[in-house]
Structure formats: structure tokens, C-alpha cells
């Protein structure tokens, strides 16, 4: 077991620069428990893949220490870290059969022929593709190739698997199917997974915890539910899920509520990143927490004009003009009650103050 507070993977004050001036990763700290699925999520260039490559040993940390199971690995060669890797481009050997692809990491580890055959068969059964052993990668679909790449990362039974945008090349339906397959494999095998993606839906679906990156800094590290329901700043609120943003100024503030002036309207909100009257703030309200012509007695209720109605199957995406903002979105679930409104109608929209968070006025730096 790890000697570091039971953390299986630890990044401790890790920095990375390529030119000696600009930090791609800034004072990165992360602890991952054994068997945990942690996703690093963020826009391109935010530093998440660099962190993954430093853990794999393909990049070196400029400063700080990285541990696996209590052992510092900064100076350990990649092949000695005993890590499974899955990439977006599959990285399968095209001239080898699927069985030979899966055998490769086992032969490198000098396992016996009978052990190799047994582990390859078990790996193909695990991904439900026992019939493809004799085929070559080019004879398989994209989804099948990605399953084989996953099996090859797991065939030698590593305790840690790193995945870098592994589903990015798949179409939407197959990507969603593979998300659940990876999640169920993780649960069944109990392996530790560090996953990199810029796809927030993927991260929310699969992870135990998510680290949201921006400009080399982790903005928030939390469970999917906490990230979505309780974003720490306006960058996280905007990056995770759809979100309405209203800029305003704090008029009054108490322990559990504040009043924010937006275009002459007073909005009741939950103070998160505001501390005194006169502060600029960004209000964050999720579209599904808002009602049109609400029957409930909401503490926020304002006049609006319907600009657009788009049918999405399970909900009606309604864009309204509110407080001089023309991109305010309300998601009305289909089946709750008929939405008898048309484009151009004057309506009222309402939401609870506990669903409206007063965050930092900027894009957010944790």
C-alpha cells in the first residue's frame, strides 16, 4: 500500500514548462485513491494531457514529485511504471493479428506461452470479441479496434490505466456505448483510471471525480454531481453543462442569500464568490431549473419575451429575452404539462434563489 495517506497516485507541487518561461502546468496537486476513476477535463491547451504524459513517463516534470503507490517515479523509465495506456488513435500494430497485438505486452514481460494464451482469451472475452483473435486491425470497425486497444492496456493486469481521449474518433452513438463499457469494466476490475477528455458529458458519465483544468490550473476537483450543482467559479459553471449567465452588482449580502442588481432588476441569489456590497458578479442559473409562467411561488420572477422554440424530444429548448439578454435559455421537459406559448409571446420566468449562484465576475481562476 502507499505510504502517502493511502493515495495510489500523487502529483505533488508539479510544474511543467517547455521554454523555461511559460508554465503549461502550474503547481499541480492531485491524489487518486486505488480503484478510483478520475477524469482531467478542460479545453485544448489547458495542461491535462501534459499531466497524463508526465505520469506515464513520456514527459518529465520541471518541478515537483509524482508518486505511484508511494514510490517516486520522476526518474523511472516508462516501461518500468507498469501502466496500461489507451490512446485516441488505437495504436494497434496493423501487421499483427488481434491475438498477437494482445500478446505483445505479455511477451515483453516474458510470460510463458500457456499464460499468454490464457490471458489473451480472457481479455477477448472481457471485451466480448472472442471471434476476432485471428483478424487484423484493418478488418475491424472503429469501435471494435478501440475495444481491442482497451483490452491490450488491461491484458497484463496493470493496477493503473491512463486513457487520453480514447473515444474521440468514434461517432456519437458508439462513443456513448463505449463510455458505459469502460465504466462497467472499471467497476468490475477495480483498476485505477486516470482519463483525459475535453468532452464534459463523457466526464460526467464515467468519473468518480473530475479535475477541471484551465490555463494549467485545476479550477475545481469534485464529484460530477458537485461540479454540476455547485460550480466553484464562473469558468466551471460555463464549462460544465449549459448555463445562463447574467452580469450584475451586489446590492445586499447576508450569510445565505444576496441581492444582485441586473439591468435594474433585483435578483435573489446564493453568494458563492461574492463577499460585500458593490462587487461585480456573474449569476449562474441552469436552464432546467427555470420555469415559464411558473405555478410555484418562486422568489425570482421576471417578465420575458419568447424568441425561439426548438423541439429536442425530451424537452423544449426555449430562448427568451430577459433583462436585455437575448440568449437566456429555459429547458421545459416534455410531458410535464403542455407548453402553450409561441414565438413573440410575453411570459414570466421564475427560479429559486438557491438555484442561482453569485460567482466571480471574470471567467474564473481557482
Give the model confidence (pLDDT) of 266-285 as tens digits.
999 999 999 999 999 999 99
Q: What are phi and psi of 249, to 5 degrees?
A: -130, 135
pLDDT of residue 338: 65
Q: What are phi and psi of 148, to 5 degrees?
A: -65, -40
| CB proximity list for 323: less than 8 A, separation 6 or greater | 246, 262, 263, 264, 265, 302
The structure's pTM equals 0.87
Domain end among 234, 262, 279:
234
Orientation angle between helical segments 98-108 and 113-126, nearest 10 degrees: 130
Q: How many residues are recorded in the chain?
A: 366
Domain count for the chain, please give it. Answer: 2
Residue 224 lies in a domain: yes
Domain final residue, candidates 234, 269, 293: 234
DSSP conformational letter for 365: -
Q: What is the pLDDT of residue 366?
A: 44
136 occurs within a structural domain:
yes
Q: Is residue 267 part of a domain?
A: yes
Q: How far apart are the first and last CA of the chain?
A: 32
**Residues 208, 287: one domain?**
no
Domain-located, residue 59: yes
- When pLDDT is averaged across residues 43-72 and rounded to a whole number, the result is 94
Position 3 scores a pLDDT of 41
Distance CA 336, CA 276 (A): 40
Q: For position 98, which CATH number holds?
A: 3.40.50.300
Q: What is the pLDDT of residue 44?
A: 86
Domain for residue 194, yes or no? yes
Q: Which domain holds residue 224?
A: 7-234
Amino acid at each position: 500500500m502507499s505510504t502517502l495517506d493511502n493515495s495510489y497516485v500523487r502529483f505533488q507541487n508539479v510544474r511543467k514548462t517547455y521554454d523555461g518561461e511559460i508554465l503549461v502546468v502550474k503547481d499541480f496537486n492531485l491524489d487518486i485513491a486505488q480503484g478510483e476513476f478520475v477524469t482531467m477535463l478542460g479545453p485544448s491547451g489547458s495542461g491535462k494531457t501534459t499531466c497524463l504524459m508526465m505520469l506515464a513517463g513520456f514527459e518529465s516534470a520541471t518541478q515537483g514529485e509524482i508518486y505511484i503507490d508511494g514510490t517516486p517515479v520522476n526518474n523511472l523509465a516508462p516501461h518500468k511504471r507498469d501502466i496500461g495506456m489507451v490512446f485516441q488513435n488505437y495504436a494497434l500494430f496493423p501487421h499483427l493479428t488481434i491475438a498477437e497485438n494482445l500478446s505483445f505486452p505479455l511477451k515483453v514481460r516474458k510470460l510463458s506461452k500457456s499464460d499468454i494464451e490464457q490471458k489473451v482469451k480472457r481479455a477477448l472475452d472481457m471485451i466480448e470479441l472472442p471471434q476476432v483473435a485471428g483478424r487484423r486491425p484493418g478488418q475491424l470497425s472503429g469501435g471494435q479496434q478501440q475495444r481491442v486497444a482497451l483490452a491490450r492496456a488491461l491484458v497484463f493486469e496493470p493496477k493503473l490505466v491512463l486513457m487520453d481521449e480514447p473515444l474521440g474518433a468514434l461517432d456519437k452513438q458508439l462513443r456513448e456505448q463505449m463510455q458505459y463499457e469502460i465504466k462497467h469494466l472499471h467497476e468490475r476490475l477495480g483498476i485505477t483510471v486516470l482519463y483525459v477528455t475535453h468532452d464534459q458529458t463523457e466526464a460526467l458519465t464515467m468519473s468518480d471525480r473530475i479535475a477541471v483544468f484551465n490555463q494549467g490550473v485545476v479550477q475545481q476537483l469534485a464529484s460530477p454531481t458537485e461540479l454540476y450543482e455547485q460550480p466553484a467559479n464562473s469558468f466551471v459553471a460555463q464549462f460544465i453543462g449549459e448555463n445562463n449567465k447574467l452580469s450584475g452588482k451586489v446590492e445586499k449580502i447576508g450569510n445565505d442569500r444576496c441581492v444582485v442588481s441586473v439591468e435594474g432588476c433585483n435578483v435573489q441569489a446564493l453568494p458563492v464568490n461574492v463577499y460585500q456590497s458593490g462587487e461585480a458578479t456573474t449569476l449562474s442559473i441552469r436552464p432546467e431549473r427555470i420555469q415559464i409562467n411558473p405555478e410555484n411561488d418562486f422568489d425570482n420572477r421576471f417578465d420575458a419575451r419568447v424568441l425561439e422554440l426548438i423541439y429536442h424530444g425530451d424537452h423544449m429548448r426555449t430562448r427568451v429575452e430577459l433583462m436585455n439578454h437575448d440568449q437566456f435559455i429555459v429547458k421545459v421537459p416534455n410531458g410535464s404539462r403542455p407548453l402553450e406559448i409561441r414565438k413573440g409571446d410575453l411570459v414570466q420566468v421564475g427560479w429559486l434563489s438557491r438555484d442561482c449562484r453569485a460567482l466571480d465576475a471574470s471567467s474564473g481562476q481557482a
